[in-house]
Amino acid sequence: MNMLNIACGGRYHSDWVNIDFHAESNHVTKVNILGGLPFEDNSMDVVYSSHFLEHLNQKQADFVLKESYRILKKDGLIRVVVPDLENICKEYLRVLDLVSQNKKHEEEYEWITVELLDQLVRVNEGGKMGEMFSHIASTKNKKLADYVLNRTGDDLLKENQPRKRKITLDKVNNKLLYLYLKVVRLLIPKNLRDLIFVNTSVGEKHQWMYDRFSLAKKLSDLRFTNIEQKSFNESNIDNFNSYLLDIKEDGTPYKGASSLYVEARK
């Protein structure tokens, strides 16, 4: 079975064809996805994309989904995972009610506001979310760390062993590209830089948000059928949980409680 993992980042499996703009493993192929998917028509049984579509504008998202439709075989399956706007908004309103009654919930309120807005508006790498991650890790704030873990799947108190990073030509080229862009940014008057030059890395900002209605409508408009909302540990893809893409080894969701999972067929 031919299975494609689009914009895989650091989550991939050797049984899949894994592609990303940055390739940091021999199991990942470097592809400019917005230039088109380099696969033949009707060649894939499954297409999977997690937390990628929200980083694209509407035109780009439609292009990637059209390309996914093109390469899928008849009755082929697509699984799309994105941040769930409905879930985040409901949680924001819930915490807003709590903090309005008791200020002991201020930390949760600050986090859910950042979760909702930061990646949509940030102009510097990491943004407010990165600052909060660092603060939680350094202060060992277990209460807030547990809340973030539930929301996003990020265990900020876990002691991670530093990975040995292999130097590749691709990484060198990317470093040079980002260095060039930083130099160009310095040529812009300081008080105007954040207005006309976003100093974030590729694939860091969100350009749109989806809920169960808007994502299903987009898929339907692009001719996908049998559209279903799933959970992190439920899929029509055979043995999907064994690949540990949406689920951790301990059975918890890789991206926490705030993700939307939708599957559809060609």
- How does residue 166 score in pLDDT terms, banded at 50, 70 and 90? low
pLDDT on residue 186 = 74
The residue that leads in pLDDT, 16 or 159, is 16
Domain boundaries of the chain, sorted by first residue: 3-84+210-265, 85-204
Can you tell me the mean pLDDT for 216-222?
98
Q: Which of 119, 46, 45 is nearest to 80 (CA)?
A: 46
pLDDT digits (tens, 9 = 90+) for 71-100: 999 999 999 999 999 999 999 999 999 999
Instruction: Mention the CATH class of domain 3-84+210-265.
Output: alpha beta
pLDDT on residue 163 = 45
Q: For the chain, what percent of residues have pLDDT higher than 70?
A: 87
The residue that leads in pLDDT, 35 or 25, is 35
Q: Which token pair is 133? A: 């991650």
Can you tell me the mean pLDDT for 175-199?
68
* 79-88, 115-124, 156-165, 222-231: segment of lowest average pLDDT: 156-165
Question: What is the reported pTM?
Answer: 0.88
The residue that leads in pLDDT, 105 or 182, is 105
Mean pLDDT of the chain: 91
Say if residue 237's pLDDT is above 70. Answer: yes
pLDDT on residue 161 = 42
pLDDT on residue 191 = 72
Q: How far is CA 247 from its chain centroid?
A: 14
